[in-house]
Amino acid sequence: MRTLDLGDAEAVHLPGGDFRLDGGTMFGLVPKVLWQRAATADEHNRIRLSCNCLLLKAGREFVLLDTGFGERFSPRERTMYGMDGEHTLRGSLAAAGVATEDITLVALTHLHFDHFSGCLVEESTDLAPLFPNAVHAVQRGEWDDALAGRSTMRSSYRPEELHALARQVEMRFLDGDDELLPGLTAFVTGGHTRAHQGFRLEAGGHTLVYPGELIPTRLHLRPYWNMAYDMFPYQSLTRKQQFTAEAAAQGWIVAWDHDPDASWSRIVQDGEHFVARDVEL
């Protein structure tokens, strides 16, 4: 279990499960001859990805950023998405010694199933919140789009699950950039979805940022390596360039939501390029 001691706060990487998506879709415009040098495709052209959830401990607050795809998929879906079942968010939390009841805030970048579905578990025939005492925060625009099915892929959202969650926990709907807790802010990135958001924690003189799908893996630091799933590709391109330049200039620690081999990195400018370096505190 990887942890970052930020002085006033601690960040814990919680593996929420590995899965596989088509490599072509993950890198959009980039030809396979280029991306296959960096990411190995399986016999179905899929590459390995992880759902990296982040636990932030600050005082009495236990904050969870994203919840992965959860545990409720059929064998057919598990095969289709190459879900390996080795890690679950529930198992990772238990390994970190944190009870699900202790989570005070769940903040979601967006509501695609690989970020949201881990919020809910199956109890007898019903869906129950895994974090019953947590306020669940999401952008109102994302919530509205998810319920209306405004998406490049309809299967990305599960509206009946959103209703099940909202019935059972306290929701906090955000209208743009906002402070979630002292030191923890949400910022809208757009790009991947209209109201997709990232999170920034200031603690102990450090800045830790979780940009979500704005830069899902270290490979996506390259300007044109963007997902074909993005609703607003040009926004992804421009916002990402702005973000990486700022992250490098300010020395932010950036946590990756889907990188299978790294939890977080620093961004360093190397000539015209931005590259990821291991974090040493």
**Per CB under 5 A, does 114 bind Zn ion?**
yes
Residues 186 and 190: their CA atoms lie apart, in Å, by 12
CB 131 within 8 A of CB 106: yes
In the complex, least distance from residue 213 CB atom to Zn ion, rounded to whole angstroms: 5
Q: Give the residue carrying structure tokens 């899929």.
A: 46
- Choose among 161, 168, 276, 164: nearest CA to 216: 276
**253-255 and 206-210 beta bridge pairing:** parallel
Q: Which is nearer to Zn ion, 206 or 229 (CB)?
A: 229
Number of residues that bind Zn ion (CB under 5 A): 1
Q: Which is nearer to Zn ion, 114 or 230 (CB)?
A: 114
**Binding range to Zn ion, per CB under 5 A, among 111-119, 177-185, 244-252, 267-275:** 111-119
Q: Which is nearer to Zn ion, 6 or 137 (CB)?
A: 137
CB count in 10 Å sphere of residue 34: 12
- For residue 202, give the H/E element and its range: strand 197-203
**Per CB under 5 A, does 18 bind Zn ion?**
no
**Binding range to Zn ion, per CB under 5 A, among 106-114, 130-138, 240-248, 270-278:** 106-114
In the complex, least distance from residue 252 CB atom to Zn ion, rounded to whole angstroms: 21
Q: Which is nearer to Zn ion, 114 or 145 (CB)?
A: 114
- Give me the residues paired with residue 209 across strands: 200, 254
Residues at the interface with Zn ion (CB under 5 A): 114
